[in-house]
């Protein structure tokens, strides 16, 4: 991964906020760093922090996408013992410079406690791919050494901010190149926009090279019987899915060589038991796909009973979401993204293309191991994520 920072272009941006917009867009335009609304960035100016607002995507963000929040209010919030989601959102809104702004990102408190002007957060594929393997933490430790702070997975939002606050209370921040949130993503930071951005690129470049050397796919175990994709197959698939979701379904097929090979793997159930690429994907894709091997109805029924079981195991007082898969792996064919419109199908298609690529690489590094089912459930049913989805879709 190479920096796309253009010094000539950067001279056009005379304010810190304009520079913040520029490098946020650079990060957002690289799909190996963030996908569709993923990631967030911030800049501290005076006694305010301007942090990505809910509903904005980094690739197209502009200045109004960075609500200004009172910095000290956020820093004090990290010192609380507990804070409910409702209180967090309310207190952040109270501390807004302009009450008409969107809600600041759920990671606003974490951005606030990092004592550098520019803070960048992505879900870089290469970093989470290594992290999502059984020896991931050890591999990352060896790669980066002391200069990288590794944080075990905890729920994003207040809990994560609090964890980082506790872990960094006695640390010399200048000794750190960045923070890796295991199974989730990366933070980089600096007092210059260009430095923060290029630190991110360097962190990711290092693991991309590592993956090229260590995750060459040589041996994969394939099953035997596969589906045949013809008109009657796709018609039946579409009609069954429309019945399940109660609306029209747009299907977008992924049939790259990588996707076809992946679909033939024998251990798909095991792989998907072990979580998404990065936690927030689950609100778009559900925790696992339908796996279809010759018989469509059988594949969909298996998905439904698996989802019901997952819900029953982890639900406290939540209401179950619909039972329609958001994508299916079709044995021998690849995958199909299932959206209620072109936009949703496109978002799911991109997420699953990147997920399959990461999962394939992980097969040669000991397998795939991301979040526990209970963590996946907490993310899927987290009110703040469901609110974000409702806003983004409407
Ligand atoms: Zn994140």
CB 8 within 8 A of CB 57: no
Give 308 Cα–ligand 1 centroid separation in angstroms. 27
Task: Quote the ligand 1 centre to 157 CA distance (angstroms).
Answer: 9
Each of the 394 residues of the chain gets a pLDDT tens digit; together they read: 999 999 999 999 999 999 999 999 999 999 999 998 889 999 999 999 999 998 899 999 999 999 999 999 999 999 999 999 889 999 999 999 999 999 999 999 999 999 999 999 999 999 999 999 999 999 999 999 999 999 999 999 999 999 999 999 999 999 999 999 999 999 999 999 999 999 999 999 999 999 998 877 666 677 777 777 888 999 999 999 999 999 999 999 999 999 999 999 988 988 998 889 999 899 999 999 999 988 999 999 999 999 999 999 999 988 999 999 999 999 999 999 999 999 999 999 999 999 999 999 998 888 999 989 999 999 999 876 666 666 554 3
- Whether 321 maps to a domain, the answer reads yes
> Are 250 and 384 in a shared domain?
yes
Q: Does residue 197 lie in a domain region?
A: yes
- 262-281 burial, b at 16+ Cβ within 10 Å, e below that, comes to bbbbeebeebbbbbbbbbbb
The pLDDT score that the predictor gives to residue 394 is: 36
221 lies in some domain: no
303 and 189 together in one domain: no
- Give 123 Cα–ligand 1 centroid separation in angstroms: 6
Output the CA 198–ligand 1 centroid distance in Å.
19
The count of structural domains within the chain is 2
In this structure, the answer to whether residues 256 and 183 fall within a common structural domain is no
Q: Which domain holds residue 41?
A: 7-214
Domain end position, chosen among 182, 214, 246 = 214
pLDDT value at residue 317: 87
- Cα dihedral value 54, 60, 63, 67, nearest 10: 10
Q: Give distance in angstroms: CA of 121 to centre of ligand 1.
A: 7
290 in the same domain as 208: no
Alpha helices (runs of H) in the chain, residue ranges in sequence order: 7-10, 16-28, 71-77, 85-94, 108-113, 125-131, 136-144, 158-168, 193-214, 231-245, 257-263, 268-273, 282-285, 296-314, 342-363, 373-380, 383-393
Q: Render pLDDT for 254-284 as a digit per residue (tens, 0 to 9).
A: 999 999 999 999 889 889 988 899 998 999 9
For residues 91 and 183, membership in a common domain is answered with yes
- 3-state percent helix, strand, coil for the chain, nearest multiple of 5: 50, 15, 35
Distance 122 CA to ligand 1 centre (A): 6
Considering the domain architecture, whether residues 158 and 11 belong to the same structural domain is answered as yes
Q: How far is the CA of 34 from the centre of ligand 1 (A)?
A: 9
| Gap from CA of 28 to ligand 1 centroid (Å) | 13
C-alpha torsion angle, residues 361, 367, 372, 376 (rounded to 10): 30
Distance 220 CA to ligand 1 centre (A): 31
Using CA atoms, how far apart are residues 255 and 105, in angstroms rounded to an integer? 35
Contact 365, 138 (CB under 8 A): no
In a domain, 220, yes or no: no
Residue 186 bridge partners (DSSP): 122, 180
Considering the domain architecture, whether residues 202 and 343 belong to the same structural domain is answered as: no
The CATH number given to whatever domain includes residue 339 is 3.40.225.10
Whether 181 is in a domain gets the answer: yes
Ligand 1 centre distance from Cα of residue 187 (Å): 9
Residue 222 forms part of a structural domain = no
**Ligand 1: centre distance to CA 131 (Å):** 14
Inter-axis angle of helices 296-314 and 373-380, to 10 degrees? 90
Are residues 67 and 186 located together in one domain of the fold?
yes
Task: Name the residues around ion ligand 1, CB cutoff 5 A.
Answer: 185
């Amino acid at each position: 991964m190479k920096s796309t920072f253009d010094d000539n272009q950067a001279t056009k941006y005379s304010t810190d906020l304009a520079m913040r917009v520029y490098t946020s867009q650079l990060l957002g335009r690289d799909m190996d760093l963030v996908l569709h609304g993923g990631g967030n960035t911030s800049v501290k100016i005076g006694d305010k922090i301007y942090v990505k607002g809910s509903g904005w995507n980094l690739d197209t963000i502009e200045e109004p996408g960075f609500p200004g929040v009172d910095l000290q209010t956020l820093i004090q919030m990290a010192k609380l013992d507990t804070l409910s989601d409702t209180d967090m959102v309310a207190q952040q809104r109270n501390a807004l410079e302009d009450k008409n702004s969107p809600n600041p990102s759920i990671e606003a408190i974490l951005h606030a406690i990092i004592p550098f002007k520019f803070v960048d957060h992505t879900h870089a594929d290469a970093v989470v791919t290594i992290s999502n393997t059984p020896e991931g933490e050890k591999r990352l430790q060896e790669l980066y050494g002391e200069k990288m702070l590794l944080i075990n997975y905890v729920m994003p939002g207040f809990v994560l901010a609090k964890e980082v606050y506790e872990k960094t209370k006695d640390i010399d921040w200048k000794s750190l190149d960045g923070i890796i949130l295991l199974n989730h993503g990366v933070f980089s930071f600096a007092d210059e926009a260009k430095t923060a951005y290029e630190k991110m690129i360097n962190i990711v470049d290092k693991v991309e090279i590592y993956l090229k050397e260590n995750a060459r796919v040589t041996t994969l175990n394939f099953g035997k019987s596969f589906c045949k994709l013809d008109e009657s197959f796709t018609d039946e698939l579409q009609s069954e899915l429309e019945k399940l979701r109660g609306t029209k379904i747009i299907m977008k097929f992924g049939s790259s060589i990588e996707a076809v090979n992946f679909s033939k793997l024998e251990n798909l159930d095991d792989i998907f038991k072990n979580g998404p690429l990065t936690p927030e994907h689950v609100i778009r894709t559900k925790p696992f796909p339908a796996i279809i091997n010759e018989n469509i109805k059988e594949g969909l029924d298996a998905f439904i009973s698996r989802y019901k079981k997952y819900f029953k195991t982890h639900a406290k007082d939540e209401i179950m979401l619909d039972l329609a898969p958001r994508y299916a792996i079709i044995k021998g064919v690849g995958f199909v993204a299932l959206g209620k419109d072109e936009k949703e199908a496109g978002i799911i298609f991109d997420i699953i293309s990147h997920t399959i690529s990461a999962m394939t690489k992980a097969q040669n590094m000991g397998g795939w191991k991301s979040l526990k089912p209970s963590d996946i459930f907490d993310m899927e049913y987290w009110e703040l994520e469901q609110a974000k989805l409702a806003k983004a879709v409407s």
